[in-house]
Structure 1
Amino acid sequence: MLIRIVKMGFQEQNIEAFLANFEANKEKIRHFEGCKFLELYRDKNDPTIFFTYSYWETENDLENYRHSDIFKNVWAKAKPLFNIPPMAWSVDKLETLS
């Protein structure tokens, strides 16, 4: 299992466009082969900062998504809305406590 965390910052006037893009595509992303979980977070102290948090069965599944038409379309709409360069991390879960 691979976890992908992506940090994105948006110009304030572009937040609604980003949220509409996410809303229109979230089910396609979540049901892409290998995606097992998807969440969207908003920073409590800076409302222009968002994070996506997703679980992927394999790194290959994530790479297939990153080369898909779904990703290309979502990213093409999101990219001009950024106010900072996006940052992404692929991490392995080591432990979970409940």
Structure 2
Amino acid sequence: MFVRIVKMSFHEDKVAAFLENFHEVKQHIRNYPGNRFLELYRDKDNPSVFFTYSYWENESDLESYRQSELFKEVWAFTKKLFNDKPQAWSVDKLVTLE
């Protein structure tokens, strides 16, 4: 399992549209084969910056999602709202403390 973190920065007047769309598609993303966890975070200092944090069984599951019609539709809508290039990281979780 690995973690995917995506940072997205939006035009201030587009944040509401992003949030509305995210709430419409979040269960579809979360239920995509191989997805085990999905969260959305908002930056404390800049309310136009968001991060998605997701767990995937393996890289091929994420790649399958990225090639899916669901991703293509979500990304086509979302990328029009950006005010900066998104950034993404795929990382391995090494330690969890509970």
TM bucket, shorter chain:
over 0.9
Q: What is residue 54 of structure 2 aligned with on the other side?
A: 54
Matched residue, 1:85: 85
TM (norm. structure 1) is: 0.99
Q: Which secondary structure does the structure 1 equivalent of 2:32 belong to?
A: coil
The percentage of counterpart residues that share the same residue type is 61
What's the offset of the Cα at 1:2? 1.1
| Alignment gaps of 5+ in structure 1 | none
Q: If the length of structure 2 is used for normalisation, what is the TM-score? A: 0.99
Cα RMSD (Å) of the superposition? 0.4
Structure 1 CA distance, aligned partners of 2:96 and 2:43?
23
1:76 is aligned to 2:76: yes
Residue 3 (structure 1) aligns with: 3
Give SS of 1:3's match.
strand
CA shift, 1:86, in A, is 0.2
How many residue pairs get aligned? The number is: 98
Counterpart of 2:42, as a letter, is R
Structure 1 CA distance for aligned equivalents of residues 56 and 38 of structure 2:
9
State the distance in 2 between where 1:53 and 1:25 align. 15
Q: 2: CA distance between counterparts of 1:28 and 1:4?
A: 17
For structure 2, which runs of at least 5 residues remain unmatched after alignment? none
CA distances 1:15-68 after superposition (whole Å, capped 9, x unpaired):
011001101100000000000000000000000000000000010000000000
